[in-house]
């Protein structure tokens, strides 16, 4: 792992029996246009909570989580309080780090990932608590020895100070090993129908012109723990491929595209390529062959356009006198086209 920030982008590895409760906290200094503190809560890699230094309150992101918290108001209040406390903690530690590392300016980011995983078959619980600074690992808590590991020399002085805080170490251990799994089990039980929901997408091949890239587009899938890629001769293909991000649709489902540049693909080699969509937890992948007959496009050749235009004008001129005589004008138009996702 190079950076904790990337964990949020690549935390889509799921298991049929393992569940997780993770918190991603980020404090920034010298970064504009975003709150100086942001916190995310994830259950089985599904975002269930959010807070930042602007709103100063915890916000629930799932309906089932809101229903659960109606009967656990004190628990909800504790999240808001922890959001506020962590803002102060991150601000103080950022200032301390910049001073000790002689960083007088620029943008700096302190991040934390903590929580637990629980195997609902074996009952095994794994806790974790670690920090990153400016895109690199900074401190990792060893819950067996209750000491901090410092991957970077710059973190060593912080390790010594935090190792001496025995009360805090015991609190972190109790939370990761005992408190976190209790609430994780409750969250999984209450949100099981939503967390275990799987919707397969519709997959299409799209192209603007015969010479442009072919986009393999999947939309309508849930959850967002998915991946899509091009294959050549049955092997994952990376050359001349552009991977898009997973984006939300207005109905709560997701979409993704992966483009293949055709300029380097000979026509006789098309049959060697296919597009693969994989949804975590679903055994069978959706495989779409690169087939010209299956490509959807709105492109019309100039010759076809000219012929269609001339024909339309001639027919219109022939019909106009009859319509004028009848005194009846009827105009009906159907609007067809793509409906873009409501990505926030």
Q: Which of 220, 285, 281 is closest to 246 using CA atoms?
A: 220
Give pLDDT, residue 324: 37
4-195 and 211-296 have identical folds: no
Low-confidence ranges of the chain (pLDDT < 50): 1-16, 304-344
Phi and psi of 294, rounded to 5°?
-95, -5
Superfamily of structural domain 211-296: Immunoglobulins (2.60.40.10)
User: Dihedral of CA 195/196/199/205: which sign?
Assistant: positive
Superfamily of structural domain 4-195: MHC class I-like antigen recognition-like (3.30.500.10)
Cα separation of the two ends of the chain:
28
pLDDT digits (tens, 9 = 90+) for 287-326: 999 998 899 987 765 554 444 444 444 444 444 444 333 3
Question: What is the reported pTM?
Answer: 0.65
> Which residue ranges make up each domain of the chain?
4-195, 211-296
Give pLDDT, residue 194: 83
pLDDT digits (tens, 9 = 90+) for 269-282: 999 999 999 998 78
| CB-based contact 13:1 (threshold 8 Å) | no
| Cα–Cα distance, 20 to 46 (Å, whole number) | 10
């Amino acid at each position: 792992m190079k950076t904790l920030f990337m964990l949020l982008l690549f935390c889509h590895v799921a298991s049929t029996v393992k569940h997780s409760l993770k918190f991603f906290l980020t404090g920034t200094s010298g970064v504009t246009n975003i709150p100086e503190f942001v916190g995310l809560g994830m259950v089985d890699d599904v975002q269930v909570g959010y807070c930042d230094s602007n709103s100063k309150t915890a916000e629930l992101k799932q309906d089932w989580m809101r229903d659960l918290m109606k009967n656990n108001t004190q628990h909800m209040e504790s999240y808001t309080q922890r959001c506020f406390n962590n803002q102060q903690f991150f601000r103080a530690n950022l200032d301390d780090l910049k001073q000790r590392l002689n960083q007088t300016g620029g943008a700096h980011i302190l991040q934390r990932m903590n929580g637990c995983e629980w195997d609902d078959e074996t009952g095994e619980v794994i806790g974790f608590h670690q920090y990153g600074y400016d895109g690199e690992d900074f401190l990792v808590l060893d819950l067996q020895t209750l000491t901090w590991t410092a991957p970077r020399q710059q973190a060593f002085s912080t390790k010594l100070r935090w190792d001496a805080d025995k009360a805090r170490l015991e609190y972190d251990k109790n939370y990761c090993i005992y408190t976190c799994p209790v609430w994780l089990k409750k969250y999984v039980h209450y949100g099981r129908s939503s967390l275990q929901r799987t919707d397969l997408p519709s997959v299409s091949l799209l192209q603007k012109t015969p010479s442009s890239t072919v986009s393999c587009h999947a939309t309508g899938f849930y959850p967002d723990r998915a991946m899509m890629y091009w294959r050549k001769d049955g092997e994952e293909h990376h050359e001349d491929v552009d991977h898009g991000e997973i984006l939300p649709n207005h109905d709560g489902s997701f979409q993704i595209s992966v483009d293949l540049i055709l300029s380097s693909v000979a026509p006789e080699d098309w049959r060697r390529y296919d597009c693969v969509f994989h949804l975590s937890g679903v055994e069978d992948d959706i495989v779409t062959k690169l087939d010209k007959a299956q490509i959807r496009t709105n492109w019309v050749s100039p010759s076809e356009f000219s012929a269609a235009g001339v024909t339309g004008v001639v027919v219109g001129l022939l019909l106009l006198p009859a319509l004028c005589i009848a005194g009846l004008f009827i105009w009906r138009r159907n609007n067809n086209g793509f409906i873009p996702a409501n990505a926030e």
